[in-house]
A and B are shown apart, each in its own frame.
Chain A
Amino acid sequence: MTTWLGVDVGGTFSDLVVYDDATGAIRVAKGLTTPAAQDEGVAAIVAAAVPAAQRANAGYFLHGSTVALNALLERKGAVVGLLTTAGFEDVLEIRRGDRDTTYQLVFRPPPPLVPRRLRFGVRERVVADGSIRTPIEEADVAPALAAFRAEGVECIAVIFLHSYANPAHELAAEQALRRLGFKGEISLSHRVSGEYREYERTSTTVVDAYVRPCMSTYLRRLEGRLRDLGFNGSCLVTRSGGGAMSFGEAEERPFEAIISGPVAGAIGAGDLCRQLNIANAVTADVGGTSFDTCLIQDGRPTLKYEGRVMGLPLQTSWIDVRSIGAGGGSLARVDAGLLQVGPESAGASPGPASYGRGGSRPTVTDAAAVLGMLAFGELASGLRLDFAAARAALKPLGPALGLDQDGVARGILQIAAANMANAIRTVTVQTGQDPRDCTLVAFGGAGPLFATLLARELAIREVLVPAHAGNFSALGLLTQDVTQSTARTSLATLDEQGLARANQVFGELLGELHRRGRAAASDGAQAEAALDLRYLGQEYTLAVSVPVAGGAIATSPAEVVTLFHRDYERTFGHTMENPVQILSVRAILRSPLPRRARMRPAAAQVDRKARREIEAFSFTRGRRVPFGVLERGSLPPEEILAGPALLLEETTTTYIDAGFEARVHESGALFLTDREA
Chain B
Amino acid sequence: MADKELDLKRMGNLPHWDVENLIGKMTLKSLLFSDDYRHIAIKGILTSLVMLALGGIMAILFRTELAVPDVQILGARVYMTLMTLHGMIMVFGFLIPLVVSVCYFLLPKVLGHERLIWAKAAQWSYWLLILAAVLLVIGRPDFTWTAYPPMSLRTGNPLLWMGYLAIFLVAVSEFLAGAVLLRNALEAKGGWSKAPLMAWATGTVGLLFMVSTIPLAFIGLGLLTDYLEITAYFDPSRGGSVKFFLYVFWSYGHPAVYLPFVPAIAVLYTLMPRFLGHPMWSYWSGVAAFILLMLGAIPIGPHHFQPLYTVSGWYERMVQILTLLVFIPSVLHVFNWVATLFMERIPTSARRAVPFKFMVASIGFIIYGGATAFINAQISIDSDFIHNTYWIPAHFHAMFFGFVGQMAIAGVYYLYPYITGRMYNQKLANSHFWLWQIGLFTKISGMFLAGYTYFPRWVYDYPPLPEWASTQFMITVGAYLIGLGFILFLYNFAVSASRGRQVEGDPWPVEDDAAAVATPAE
Determine if chain A interacts with chain B. Answer: no
Q: Which residues of A contact B (CB under 8 A)?
A: none
